[in-house]
Structure 1
Amino acid sequence: MPSKIVGDPRSDHSRYNQVVHEIHIPNEMREHGEVSDEVIAEAIAYLHRDGILILANAISPSHLDDLEAVLGPEAEEIAKDPQHHFNFGRSLLRHRLNPLTHCSRQVYSQHGSGSTADPRAHVQGLFQGFQSAALPLTAAKGRLGESHWGGHHACDVRFGNTALKATGRQPVHSDIDKPHPSWPFAFAFNIPLCDMSVENGSTEIWIGSHRDSNIDQHCTFAGGETGLVIKPELLEERRQHSPPIQPSTKKGSLIIRDIRLWHAGMPNRTDTPRIMLAFVYQPRWFQAPSSVILPLRAKRLVEQWGAETGVGFKATWVDGDVDHKTINSEEVDFSSRSKALRGLEEMMHWPAH
């Protein structure tokens, strides 16, 4: 069943998949950090069909203000660094930063400067925003993860996706460039720190494109290696009946996306950075290699966050400081190390019949 038909269904010009389904989270449910069975049932149904879902009113906007105040100026600073990674080139002025790495580094750098106060008190507003945002995130990922994967899954990728003022756009792509299963194996949970619209670079979404996702849809390089970008002829074929959209999203929403879904970053035509946090969850049995790099001295704090919020993190701990401004998002890898899955690669291509 299509998610939306625009026009006369009897004509040849009907368009499908033109609306991202939105579930409004009641204030009481949001404040308690719990998600009801009814919400989970509805969410799973639409995630399977559309590959994307918006949970509106999932986070109190006031809890995101401190995060935006810190990450906004930092995004502009990073954008001036010629060595920093920009997704698909600098023309889009889109880069990634890691809010979790920033929080841990900010706390411990201030604590190590001679302060005798509780290090968490120095950036309490930042923590409040992070932890308050994590409550609905935890509830949603926990219930959805249990429904899809059982009880063992973790957040192994976290970053900030920021669009600064620019005119360029990304090519249409999915976030997996290797043979992958035809069932959900990773969900991205996005938290916009501001209202998102066409004007400030809301992501272009190809609703339902995840349903037949496989590696044969991707462009290949000269050596036969596949990339993230989807073949142009497939885009034009799908555009005839299910063209892309740029949904508008309110601050305080939680966007859940199957990483197989086709999408593209779009230009921000305003002077204000458009910041969106991202947390990617995968099941333990998938054996994904990615993890976040964090300083060893922050381990106790991060584990305390996990105990308080229920959000599990897969981290690589290193001695000394971690400069979150230099972390390269190209190192993110959503592939699997599972021998069982790698042995089933024939199931990850176009079916023979």
Structure 2
Amino acid sequence: MNWLTNLVRPKIRNLVPKKDVPENLWVKCPSCEHMLFRKDVEKSSMVCSRCGHHMRLPARKRLEMLFDGGNYTEIQLPVPAPDPLKFKDLKKYPDRLKDAQTKTGEKDALIVAHGWLAGMPVVVAAFNFDFMGGSMGVAVGEGLVQAAEVAVQQRAALIVIPASGGARMQEGILSLMQMARSTVAVQRVREARLPYIVLLTDPTTGGVTASFAMLGDVTLSEPGAVIGFAGARVIENTIRQKLPEGFQRAEYLRDHGMVDLVVHRKDIKSTIARIISIMTHRDAPSELAPAYLSTVEETDSPLPLPPPGDPEAAARADGRPADPSDEVSEDDEGPEDPTQHGDK
């Protein structure tokens, strides 16, 4: 039977050359776990056609979606010291930075750009979660400061799109300092009477949530985004209680007053354009106005606003939205029984 070993096995040729077979033809939805054709998912801006789950997007893709024609001018950010604390865990911090830069092709977790959105000037600061979890270090803090400065110089709206696990632990206290720096930067935009809009995406947690991410004049969120400070499991173990259904999800925060609107990805540009138009009294193209914002009453001239930094005057400002039930006529002496309206 040794003659069998002398036989030459026939070669089976692939019908399609290997080099012509594209990789990653399919995408698995993290929510419903359905396999989706990648080209179809990309056409829908990475939204699952089965369950509507919003998958994560890289920062540059978000910039292309927001700016008119996908055109924008990137603001070059200074590069800080790569390893200020000489930090090392399983790997040296400079090595982790190099790995993230190779993986994403970006210098750090934030990209800042300026351009036009629906014909209105805007500055956008977008986080890239693929870069070390979108963590905020000195470079990211400097980027947020410069984004605010450019917005003030150009009299443009500032839009921030966080996607972050929080402060970057490899930079220690220097990272935590960026919470204060970013908060001060936002205040400068407010003092200049310019719109500051935040679009919360999945996930927005830690020191990012505890600083600039929750300070927007208008706070939007994508559906299903995880938003919070500490993780749900950490909170449950701390308070020894079961958390409510949907806790730290965008819809839960909207229902409890922490988020203004939960917006589908396809409507984000039109929604932001409409908000900026209302806040700045500029005309945005009518086709960019979603139905649920078209009923907002607009005026030809801005409301008389008090000087910045005076909350007491803001509460007394003419034109301030008020509850009609708060209006009391001069002839109204109130109920005879003081317990009729109030706690007994």
TM over 0.5: no
Larger-gyration structure (1/2):
2
What TM-score, normalized to structure 2?
0.24
> Normalized per residue, which structure has more strand?
1
Q: TM-score if structure 1 supplies the norm length? A: 0.23
Q: Which fold has the larger relative contact order, with Cα–Cα distance below 8 Å and residues 6 or more apart in sequence?
A: 1
